Structure 1
Amino acid sequence: MNIECDTRIPFPRPLVFQTYRDQLLDLIPYLPNVRSIDIKSRRDVRGQLFCINHWHGGGEIPALARSILSDDMLSWTEHNIWDSDTYTLIWRIETHAFTKAVSCGGENRFVEDGSHTVVENRGRLAINPQQLEGIPDLVRGHVASVVENYLSQKIAPNLLEMSQGVQQYLEASSLSSQDI
């Protein structure tokens, strides 16, 4: 299943790109579906920044639902390659539930549009039914299809939420810098 989502942020491209890349922990208050993010590694190799981040989702899930869902079902590891020369991000998500079955990755481009930035999110999500352990063979294909549809419907809103969070963060930062 393809993932496509574009957003327009009313700030210059270098600032938007840097905020996504370097201010991730500062963005958490603006991301209601994220409980926390652990930065596992960041290393610069020939102008590219390689990052591994562990995300803990489920911020606005009711307590009863959260008691049924395991932490693995609400967490994922994101592997990123940031290229500041091309203003691109290549990403891959590793789920903590059904890790072998789920494949998800893509590329984001940060495109200058006057004094604004358009963030073009492109990705692909696929679930291999043969890798769904603990699911009877007879229903694996159906379960894979349902889960893939469900996840794909959650990813685009989360990408939009991230862009909105970046915009709110930058607006708040510019307001506080004006107060000085």
Structure 2
Amino acid sequence: MKTFKSIQIVKIPVEDAWLAIRDRLGELVPHLDEIESVAVQERTTQPDGDIFLVNLWQAKAKFPAVLSTVIKSDMLAWTDRAMWHEKNHECAWQIELHFAPDRTRCTGLTTFEPALGGRGTRITFAGEFSLNAKGLPGVPSILESTVAAAAESFVTSLIPGNFRKLAMAAETLANATPQVTSAG
């Protein structure tokens, strides 16, 4: 198991960052060069106002053509299940990779806190990822722990950078959306 953590400050209020990332992921996709699409599969509002979301993510294929026989498009897809706790602006999530759901585990917590005197948001994205390489086809048993450690390091090095891009896309989207003000 390998942990990861990314902290990003965006120059929009907590509520704007919260709503952009929770409710407008589809609109953020054009700002995320590694993501092809995000589709909401389920959205349920709980009695306490919390929202449970299931999103299907599809990454863009960015690998040499020679690897296309090894890496299939379903390997670049994942489902995220998240409970968005409105009261404390926290999101507990779990990601299921489509290519090895029984071999991987990725869970975490994203928090949204006021920053910059209330004009900004400090978003903390933290979690853990593990891969069970035992019996993985094509991997000799003597290399299972090495392969697992390498994969965990690779994945956990990618996640924080992608999260920073998501946070910055939320800031861009929120700043591009006209603010509603009351006349008066």
TM-score (norm 1): 0.90
Which residue of the partner structure matches residue 43 of structure 1? 44
Which residue of the partner structure matches residue 107 of structure 1? 109
Segments of structure 1 that go 5 or more residues without pairing to the other structure are none
Return the alpha-carbon distance in structure 1 between the equivalents of residues 87 and 32 of structure 2.
28
Count of residues paired in the alignment: 176
Higher relative helix content = 1
Aligned partner (choices 92, 95, 108) of residue 94 of structure 2: 92
Amino acid aligned to 1:173: T
Return the alpha-carbon distance in structure 2 between the equivalents of residues 66 and 41 of structure 1.
33
Which residue of the partner structure matches residue 137 of structure 1? 141
Which residue of the partner structure matches residue 52 of structure 1? 54
TM-score (norm 2): 0.88
Moved runs in structure 1, 4+ residues, more than 6 A?
none
Segments of structure 2 that go 5 or more residues without pairing to the other structure are none
Return the alpha-carbon distance in structure 1 between the equivalents of residues 67 and 132 of structure 2.
26
Mapping 1:25-174, distance limit 5 Å? 25-46=26-47, 47-58=49-60, 61-62=62-63, 64=65, 67-68=68-69, 69-113=71-115, 114=117, 115-130=119-134, 132-174=136-178
Q: Percent identity?
A: 23
CA contact (8 A) 2:103 2:131 kept: yes
| CA displacement at 1:101 relative to structure 2 | 1.3
Return the alpha-carbon distance in structure 1 between the equivalents of residues 98 and 165 of structure 2.
22
- CA-based RMSD of the aligned residues comes to 2.0
Return the alpha-carbon distance in structure 2 between the equivalents of residues 62 and 29 of structure 1.
20
| CA displacement at 1:62 relative to structure 2 | 4.9
CA contact (8 A) 2:14 2:113 kept: yes
